[in-house]
Structure 1
């Protein structure tokens, strides 16, 4: 069983998958930062300082003994209050759209590069036939005429 496991792990596609997962996680962090630190503040500025991540609807009673702000989504969620965080969902949805668009651009770029690499070479014009071959053909044609 150990040898089978080593064979499985040594396959190239397992290593490729591992690299893909690691790169994907790092790419997800970059996209999250791009969304939260660059795009969402711009969207918030356009819509009058709107911060999507703090928008929520309180669905029930606040737990007894809660002393925090009723306007803080993070505090209410930490306290166990039933909250519907639609702002957080909007943020995650925007993250997804940005990530999907970036992946689309990367796949499009790779496809163009691969197509250019696999483009067949234009066929060269046939080389002119040697003078001896042309002379032999003329002799053959003359002999056929007789």
Structure 2
């Protein structure tokens, strides 16, 4: 069982996934900081200092903090848009990199042989 687990855990896909999760967590912290420290204060200034967290509804002894929920939903949309734009930008750079022309591949043995046959047939037709 240990041998099977070891072969599973050391497969390339599992390692790639682990690296992706670690980088994703770090990237999530960056985007969360962007939203909470930069975008939300600017949005607060634009909306006249409106703070959703203070919006509550009291029903008897129960306090429903719908403002916190609205703030979380707004944060989610800003984070989702930020990630979308960053991924789109990275994809654009990747497409440009892939579009760069590369040297044509060397002809295969079959292509060389076919070219020789073509050339011999041309010589035979000329005579």
Partner of 1:36: 36
Q: Hey, what's the Cα distance between the residues in 2 that align with 1:24 and 1:114?
A: 19
Asked whether the equivalents of residues 31 and 82 of structure 2 are also in contact (C-alpha less than 8 Å), the reply is no
Greater C-alpha radius of gyration: 1
CA separation of 1:111/1:36 partners in 2, compared to 1, >3 Å: closer, same or farther? closer
CA separation of 1:22/1:116 partners in 2, compared to 1, >3 Å: closer, same or farther? same
- The structure where helix makes up a greater share of residues is 2
Partner of 1:11: 11
Q: Hey, what's the Cα distance between the residues in 1 that align with 2:29 and 2:87?
A: 19
Aligned equivalent of 1:109, options 89, 93, 96: 89
TM-score, normalised by the number of residues in structure 1: 0.58
Please report how far the alpha carbon of residue 26 of structure 1 lies from its aligned counterpart in structure 2 after TM superposition: 2.2
Aligned length: 110
Partner of 1:2: 2
Q: Hey, what's the Cα distance between the residues in 2 that align with 1:43 and 1:88?
A: 16
Q: Hey, what's the Cα distance between the residues in 1 that align with 2:37 and 2:28?
A: 14
Q: Hey, what's the Cα distance between the residues in 1 that align with 2:17 and 2:94?
A: 21
CA separation of 1:96/1:5 partners in 2, compared to 1, >3 Å: closer, same or farther? same
Please report how far the alpha carbon of residue 101 of structure 1 lies from its aligned counterpart in structure 2 after TM superposition: 1.8
Q: Where in structure 2 are there 5+ consecutive unaligned residues?
A: 105-118
Please report how far the alpha carbon of residue 120 of structure 1 lies from its aligned counterpart in structure 2 after TM superposition: 7.2
TM-score, normalised by the number of residues in structure 2: 0.65
Please report how far the alpha carbon of residue 5 of structure 1 lies from its aligned counterpart in structure 2 after TM superposition: 0.8
Q: Where in structure 1 are there 5+ consecutive unaligned residues?
A: 62-81, 125-132
CA separation of 1:4/1:44 partners in 2, compared to 1, >3 Å: closer, same or farther? same
CA RMSD of superposed structures (Å):
3.0
Please report how far the alpha carbon of residue 122 of structure 1 lies from its aligned counterpart in structure 2 after TM superposition: 8.5
CA separation of 1:5/1:27 partners in 2, compared to 1, >3 Å: closer, same or farther? same
Tell me if 1:21 matches 2:21: yes
